[in-house]
Structure 1
Amino acid sequence: MSADSSPTPKHEVETFPAYEGRMHYIEGYTPVSLGAPHSSLERTATWAGMGFLLVGLVGIGMVLYGLATSLWGGDENSNFFMIAGAIVAVVICGGGLILINRGRQHYKKYRRETGRSH
């Protein structure tokens, strides 16, 4: 028996070029959301931004409290609560939206490069 007639097939090593800063996947492969390097779910900025949006609800609650006490009486500081609540809501929710946008930048880059949307 010759050395070339081995029962196991010979496999050639196939390599794919790695481009720095560019998403590169094998054609036909769709990465899962959590395990992909472009995933927004693994970014701290995304989760911190969602936390900021939830905290921003405090400002909206302050506006509603100020509005209710202004309409039905009971508190002389209703204008303060409405103004302070609006400022808190805009600043904190705005910061949250900026953080979420920053956390999703890798996914947006992936969509631009591959044309995939999932």
Structure 2
Amino acid sequence: MAYSHDSVADIRSESFPDYEARIEDAYIEGYDPASLGAPHSSLHTRKLWFGLGLILAALFGIGLSVWGAAAHIWGTGTQIDLSNRLLVLGLIEVAVTLTLGFVLIASSRKGYKEYRKRTGRVN
């Protein structure tokens, strides 16, 4: 009988199967991990914190647009009238930082959403 590669089994994968160990496999039934200490938490990602920082930075644009709107309504006194420019720049800054912040937060939560789908847990 001739030697054929088709009839040879993959001994390595049959003898030593690769098991993917997950942390939730070791959880006791009914255990609900705390958000901060859980390894699947989004709080461990840099994207989340950078996104939250960008949302906080949107306050600068809000203040700038409020200043521009107030200067447009009540006047600027002896200063050069830049109220429209301040209003537009403030609104642009708000839109850009909020958009980037929410996109970063949504992308940082991808691992947590995958964990929830895989395990069916809510925390």
* Unaligned ranges ≥5, structure 1: 1-16
User: 1:45 aligns to what SS in structure 2?
Assistant: helix
Q: CA RMSD in A?
A: 1.9
- Quote the residue 1:113 is aligned against: 118
Question: Which residue of structure 2 aligns with residue 31 of structure 1?
Answer: 33
Counterpart position of 1:103? 108
Aligned twin of 2:87: 82
Alignment of 1:1-118 (within 5 A): 17-18=19-20, 24-25=24-25, 26=27, 27-74=29-76, 76-118=81-123
Aligned residues: 100
> Aligned-pair distance for 1:103?
1.5
Moved more, 30-39 or 89-98: 30-39
| d(CA) in 2 for partners of 1:18, 1:85 | 49
* Deviation of the 1:61 alpha carbon: 0.8
Query: Offset at 1:112?
Result: 1.8
TM-score (norm 2): 0.71
| Residue identity in the other structure for 1:46 | L
Question: How far off is 1:115 after superposition?
Answer: 2.4
* Moved segments of 4+, more than 4 Å: none
TM-score, normalised to structure 1's length? Answer: 0.74
Report percent identity of matched pairs: 42
